[in-house]
Structure 1
Amino acid sequence: MASKFKKGDVVQVVSGGPPMTIDAVPGGKGHYQQKPDEYWCRWFKGASPDHGSFGEHMLIAYAPPAK
């Protein structure tokens, strides 16, 4: 099955939160903690980097707020 997102895409959790960059896709060679059916994402909390894995059903493409 093809992934909905690709490495480098900017996404957001469906319920909100910061924009995140996809660093690894399901089935790819990602982070050692990545689950095989999840995307590995990176983002910033202020100036501090953070990361985690998310199922495809939890992510949407990020759309910057209108000015």
Structure 2
Amino acid sequence: MPKETLFKVGDLVKIKSGGPVMTVRGNYGSDIKNFECQWFAGKKLEMGRFPSDSLVPVEDEPK
């Protein structure tokens, strides 16, 4: 039975301490509690890896 992750690919998240809104790219490694995220810093696409304990979901803005 597959384990359920906290975030799915495409979810919007932020680091608990602040920072830019990031998009979840997926899990990394064998631990389902670690996520690879991407965000834009100006025009440059950045990527980083974060433990789930450091992330919070961001609600979609109304359209």
Look up the match of 1:14.
16
Taking only the aligned residue pairs, the percentage that are identical comes to 33
Query: More strand by proportion, 1 or 2?
Result: 2
Aligned length, in residue pairs = 57
Structure 2 counterpart SS, 1:8? coil
Following superposition, which runs of at least 4 residues in structure 1 exceed 6 angstroms of deviation?
Answer: none
Structure 2, unmatched stretches of 5+, are none
What TM-score does the superposition give when structure 1 sets the normalisation length? 0.74
Deviation at 1:2, TM superposition (A): 1.8
Q: What is the 5 A alignment of 1:45-56?
A: 45-56=41-52
- Supply the RMSD in Å over aligned alpha carbons: 1.8
Counterparts in 2 of 1:57 and 1:12: CA distance versus 1, 3 Å: same
Look up the match of 1:28.
none
Distance in 1 (alpha carbons) for counterparts of 2:46 and 2:40? 6
Look up the match of 1:57.
53
Deviation at 1:50, TM superposition (A): 0.2
What TM-score does the superposition give when structure 2 sets the normalisation length? 0.78
CA contact (8 A) 1:11 1:20 kept: yes
Structure 2 counterpart SS, 1:24? strand
Structure 1, unmatched stretches of 5+, are 26-33
